[in-house]
A = this chain, B = another copy of it.
């Protein structure tokens, strides 16, 4: 028997390790490979032969790994360029050296491009004993073809929960205190994360990158809310933009004293508009920042289970010696009760595309999302896994990249 290797790339999620755990458990239950290696820091670490052996992971560590956020194998932003033959040759020779037949690559857009590029290279060079399999993950939920992406449900749950909790907070003062609360989420090009806040049922104004920003309309809506109930709850995606494509955070106010562009900042930009226009006398901004993709203590059980089983599915598919250049996707099954099944699709069809939040799911005048959108989103945040704790804090595995 030969070996396989699993690695992670791009920005982490709350359940990205569940997919690693699934690959490992898949091979423990059904022995396709001798060893399951973990590649540290993605392709970058594999090229430097930085591996760990995950084959004999205990069931306890496997469970703890599933509740550990961020990439336990480390990540990278290294992109294999198709004209850099040296990297391809080196990677294949390292795989040969360790008798590795299959590389499972867990990531987003760029990682699917890497999977596509590697399988193309292998095909072109008649390398028939190497397989490259993509496992999707991204909090942004912006990959094509798959119904949704592992990682999104947990981030969506944290966002909806925080929206509900901070909505309760901003409303405690009497009507005499007029106030706008602005929640800023990730999502540079797609509004999936911001839209998930609507699951709280509390959002007055929702601003997505897919919905051209109109300052006058926004301020009108703020004033209406304040007039009606003295409070206004706004959710904005970091990628919110005007009709001409300019980010709303890209004005002068988005540069600090030293001229550095301040990324994020859509919430602060809205706050400045509100205060300048005197649409409301008081404004508070909460930027969820890194917490929204790492807050694994409140994983969605649906999300975690799907990410885990996706790793198992990838492992199973790879048992077929011709399976390469493919990504495992999620398909929503028909029927009243939410459920999914896995399917496979060429990684090249996923790479370098962005799936936007559907325009027909956006209500006019920033009034949120349609019932259809709500029904799509809601099942993804269902369920709360049992989390183990130690000394009051969640029990996490020590990152493998720190163990060497």
Contact = CB atoms under 8 A, between A and B. Distances in A.
Nearest to A164: B393
Interface residues of A, number: 71
Interface stretch (A114-122, A252-260, A312-320, A359-367): A252-260
A310 to B, nearest CB: 20
A290 B389 contact: no
Contacts of A22: none
B392 A199 contact: yes
Interface stretch (A97-105, A268-276, A342-350): A268-276
B256 A291 contact: no
Contacts of A199: 391-393
Contact of A268 (B70, B160, B256, B389): B256
A1 interface: no
Nearest to A201: B393
A286 B297 contact: no
B285 A164 contact: no
A402 B70 CA distance: 39
A70 B258 contact: no
Contacts of A253: 256-257
Contacts of A335: none
Contact of A44 (B170, B174, B298): B174
Interface stretch (A72-80, A85-93, A141-149, A235-243): A72-80
A41 B173 contact: yes
Contacts of A258: 272, 275-276
Nearest to A73: B172
A396 to B, nearest CB: 7
Interface in A36-83: 41, 44-45, 68-71, 74-77
A321 interface: no
A171 interface: yes
Nearest to A40: B174
Nearest to A16: B172
Contacts of A284: 289-290
Interface in A226-283: 252-253, 256-258, 260, 268, 272, 275-276
Nearest to A44: B174
A94 interface: no
A394 to B, nearest CB: 7
Given A164-B393, A174-B74, A169 B378 contact: no
Given A45-B174, A272-B258, A297-B298, A168 B382 contact: no
B391 A378 contact: yes
A286 B289 contact: yes
A279 B253 CA distance: 24
Interface string A371-384: 00000001001111
Contacts of A68: 168
Contacts of A76: 173-174
A28 interface: no
A69 B162 CA distance: 11
A165 B291 contact: yes
A378 B399 contact: no
Contacts of A35: none
9 contacts: A41-B172, A76-B174, A161-B394, A162-B295, A284-B290, A287-B289, A378-B392, A381-B393, A384-B389
